[in-house]
Amino acid sequence: MRKNEWYSDFVDAKYIPKNDDIVCLFRFNAADGISKTEAMGRIASESSVGTWTTLATLPKVLPKLKAHSFWRNRDFCKVAYPRILFEPGSITGFLAGPAGNIFGMKAVDNLRLVDVAFPREYVKSFRGPTFGVDAIKRIFKKKSGPITAVVPKPKLGYTAREHAEKVAYAIWRGGIDCVKDDENLTNQTFNRFSERVKSLARVRDKAEKETGEIKEAFVNVTAPDLRELEKRIKMVYDNGFRYFMLDVVISGFTAAQTASNMAHDYNMAIHAHRAMHAMFTRNEKHGISMLLLAKLMRLIGVDQLHIGTAIGKLEGSKKAIVATKDMILSKEVNEIPMLRLHQDWGSIKPMLPVASGGLHPGLLPQIFDIYKTTDMVAQVGGGTQGHPMGTEAGARAVMQTIDAYHQNIDLREYAEGHSELKEALKKWGFRRPK
Ligand code: CAP
Ligand code: MG
């Protein structure tokens, strides 16, 4: 132990976590001159009750509050935290410890919070999704998924009326369930939020009447402050939508929890876009894993979350995506060494995975095979609006692909009797965008 330091007090290989402890799995690289044990002590100390030097006075309760780094395998370690350390029902209150200062410690060159096993009592302090998987049946009255969505592309540029009357109308007419705002569409001068919501509601009613199908929109309520966020959610609700969309990472965890509480109050569902996540999820050696971000979002209570495709245009390994998909859809999942901890969800509803990013009809069957379910949301933006015969045909091609998949018919064979699918396969085939 170095003079005037007490980090080693936070390392105990004999410590056996209590059932009620919160256990974090970290991946770390100790800095030069720092042993792995010293690094583990710093991680546990700085993320719970410690600091860089010994202290003159200590509260009596301190031994009960200390975290224990109790396990290591190569550059992975586990730290157990007494649940009492954290405010129940608050993701921000949790992250400020195990995902706070420690990322910046000089004692580590890299640090990644890979997963967290939350005990039942802690899980119970969250509300979870309002609908989650149930949205398929309770909102869309469908026996099985996927829920289909299309983002008007290009991302920005349409006026509110063009967005609704030109693009959304064609998407809904083509059989798609939901028209999704892009992540960077909020309240621009050329596409005002209030006008977009009202125009979409008017066109939705028209499309529902003409198709006899339930039509929804994922209107992006991402806002500059919580008061405006609440106003936008209320406006979407007042215009008869059951969903709203939030950029949960960009908005932050307090906004996400505020939105979830409002979704419960209004009996609405949240489509969670994860834009900016790759800033801290992508580097396997540093940051927070996408799996853990998804776990936090299920606790907070979003109903569906983008989790990656493995074969589309954005990064994400198939192994990690499948481990995440299983964790958000299941009641309980087992540990996968160095990737995922055991988690029992109690009565928290399963959350729907969203596959999106570079998808087109030729790729959808592969997505359903990777996910091993169609209980999901399939978003196809460019892969619908880039269709040679236009947006409505692009939407029909997506729906034809899903029909073919459900009937276990090869796409090329199904395309023989469906011109929209045939044209889509002619343009994109089965290529995986880079
Ligand atoms: C997809 C998308 C989504 C990405 C987000 C886009 O459009 O609208 O934001 O899927 O990535 O802007 O790229 P396309 P992820 O369907 O035209 O690709 O799903 O990985 O969070
Ligand atoms: Mg987008």
- Model confidence pLDDT, tens digit, residues 145-199: 999 999 999 999 999 999 999 999 999 999 999 999 999 999 999 999 999 999 9
Whether 4 has a pLDDT exceeding 90, the answer reads no
DSSP letter assigned to residue 336: B
Do residues 168 and 227 both lie within one domain?
Answer: yes
- Residue 201 maps to a domain: yes
Tell me the CA–centroid distance for residue 358 and ligand 1, in Å: 7
Asked whether residue 2 is assigned to any structural domain, the reply reads no
Among candidate residues 89, 123, 157, the one where a domain is terminated? 123
Residue nearest to atom 21 of ligand 1 (CA): 306
The token pair that represents 200 in the structure block: 């979409």
Q: Which residue's alpha carbon is nearest to atom 5 within ligand 1?
A: 357
Nearest atom (ligand 1) to Cα of 275: 21
d(Cα 82, Cα 164) in Å, to the nearest integer?
Answer: 51
Ligand 2 center from residue 197 Cα (angstroms): 18
Instruction: Using pLDDT thresholds of 50, 70 and 90, give the confidence band for residue 318.
Output: very high
Asked whether residue 338 falls in the same domain as residue 364, the answer is: yes
Pocket test for ligand 1, best of 250, 356, 384, 387 (most atoms within 8 A of CB): 356
Predicted pLDDT at 51: 87
**Higher-scoring residue by pLDDT: 118, 434:** 118
Tell whether 102 and 140 lie within a shared domain: no
Choosing from 36, 153, 264, 427, the catalytic residue is 153
What is the distance between the alpha carbons of residues 131 and 102, in angstroms, rounded to a whole number?
35
Atom of ligand 1 nearest to the CA of 274: 21
- Residues 116, 252, single domain; the answer is no
Query: Mean pLDDT across the stretch 23-35?
Result: 98
Asked if 81 and 147 sit in the same domain, the reply is no
Q: In this structure, are 78 and 173 located in the same domain?
A: no
* Catalytic annotation present for 153: yes
What pLDDT score does 78 carry? 98
Tell me which of 95, 123, 151 is where a domain ends: 123
Q: Does residue 353 register a pLDDT over 80?
A: yes
pLDDT above 70 covers a percentage of the chain that reads 99
Q: How far apart are the CA of 367 and the centre of ligand 2, in A?
A: 18
- pLDDT the model gives residue 6: 84
205 lies in some domain: yes
Q: Which residue has the tokens 């049946």?
A: 137
CB 245 within 8 A of CB 239: no
Q: How many whole angstroms separate alpha carbon 313 and alpha carbon 381?
A: 12
| 113 sits in which H/E element | strand 108-117
pLDDT of residue 331: 98
Nearby residues for ligand 2 (ion, Cβ within 5 Å): 182-183
- Boundary (domain end) residue, out of 73, 105, 123: 123
Whether the predicted pLDDT of 136 surpasses 60: yes
Identify which ligand lies nearest to the alpha carbon of 149.
Answer: 1
The upper half-sphere exposure of residue 180, i.e. CA atoms within 13 Å in the direction of its Cβ, equals 30
Rounded to the nearest angstrom, the distance between the alpha carbon of 356 and the centre of ligand 1 is 5
Cα–Cα distance, 201 to 229 (Å, whole number): 19
- Pocket of ligand 1, beta carbon within 6 A: 151, 153, 155, 182-183, 274, 306, 308, 313-314, 356-359, 379-383
User: For residue 252, is it left (φ>0), alpha (ψ between -120 and 50) or beta?
Assistant: left
DSSP string, 153-192: SSSS---HHIIIIIIIHHHHHTT-SEEE--TT-SSBTTB-
CB-CB neighbours of 366 under 10 Å: 16
Domain span at residue 281 reads: 132-428
User: Residue range 335-358: average pLDDT?
Assistant: 98
C-alpha torsion angle, residues 221, 222, 226, 227 (rounded to 10): -50
Catalytic residue among 273, 286, 306, 325: 273
pLDDT digits (tens, 9 = 90+) for 215-257: 999 999 999 999 999 999 999 999 999 999 999 999 999 999 9
In this structure, what CATH number is given to the domain that contains residue 162? Answer: 3.20.20.110
3 lies in some domain? no
On whether residue 319 sits in a domain, the answer given is yes
Same domain, 143 and 218: yes
Ligand located closest to 357 CA: 1
* Strand-pair category, 22-30 with 108-117: antiparallel
Query: Does residue 434 belong to any structural domain of this protein?
Result: no
pLDDT at 356: 98
Mean pLDDT of 342-368: 98
Identify whether residues 297 and 148 lie together within a single domain.
Answer: yes
**For residue 33, what is the domain's CATH number?**
3.30.70.150
* DSSP structure class, residue 49: T
* Backbone torsion region of residue 311, taken as left when φ is above 0, otherwise alpha when ψ lies between -120 and 50, otherwise beta: alpha
Atom of ligand 1 nearest to the CA of 433: 18
Q: Give yes or no for residue 274 having a pLDDT over 90.
A: yes
Residue 206 has pLDDT above 90, yes or no: yes
Confidence of residue 1 (pLDDT cuts 50, 70, 90): low
Query: Same domain, yes or no, for 311 and 361?
Result: yes
Q: Computed over its alpha carbons, how large is the radius of gyration of the chain?
A: 24
Q: What is the pLDDT of residue 63?
A: 87
In a domain, 387, yes or no: yes
**pLDDT at res. 56:** 87
Q: For 78, left (φ over 0), alpha (ψ -120 to 50), or beta?
A: beta
- The residue-averaged pLDDT of 21-37 equals 98
d(CA 285, CA 109): 9
Q: Do 143 and 101 belong to one domain?
A: no
Q: Are residues 104 and 156 in the same domain?
A: no
Number of domains the chain is built from: 2
Give the pLDDT confidence score for residue 339 in this predicted structure: 98
Give the ligand whose atoms come closest to the C-alpha of residue 309.
1
Q: Is the pLDDT of residue 382 over 80?
A: yes
Residue having the nearest C-alpha atom to atom 2 of ligand 1: 357
Looking at every residue in the chain, the average pLDDT score rounds to: 97
Q: Which of 24, 39, 34 has the alpha carbon at shortest distance from 81?
A: 24
Global confidence as pTM: 0.97
Q: How many Cβ atoms sit within 10 Å of the Cβ of residue 104?
A: 9
Across 47-51, 279-283, 339-343, least confident range: 47-51
Measured from the Cα of 273, ligand 1's closest atom is 21
Q: Is 313 a catalytic residue?
A: no
Nearest residue to 112 (alpha-carbon basis) of 249, 258, 281, 356: 281
How far does the centroid of ligand 2 lie from the alpha carbon of residue 273, in Å?
8
Burial code of 57-87, b = ≥16 C-beta within 10 A, e = fewer?
A: eeeeeeeeebbbbbbbeebbbbbbbbbebbe
Measured at the CA of 30, the angle between CA 25 and CA 34, to 5 degrees, comes to 130
When pLDDT is averaged across residues 54-59 and rounded to a whole number, the result is 88
Same domain flag for 92 and 115: yes
Does residue 1 fall inside a structural domain?
no
pLDDT of 68-127, one tens digit each? 999 999 999 999 999 999 999 999 999 999 999 999 999 999 999 999 999 999 999 999
Q: Are strands 22-30 and 76-81 parallel, antiparallel or unpaired?
A: antiparallel
pLDDT score of 197: 98
Ligand nearest the Cα atom of residue 381: 1
| Cross-strand bridge partners of residue 206 | none
Q: Please state, in angstroms and rounded to a whole number, the distance separating the CA atoms of residues 215 and 230.
A: 23
Cα 394 to ligand 1 centroid, rounded to whole Å = 17
**What is the position in ligand 1's atom list of the atom closest to the CA of 379?**
16
> Distance (Å, rounded) from C-alpha 34 to C-alpha 105?
12
| Confidence label for 55 from pLDDT (cuts 50, 70 and 90) | confident
CA of 336 to the centre of ligand 1 (A): 28
Atom of ligand 1 minimally distant from the CA of 182: 8
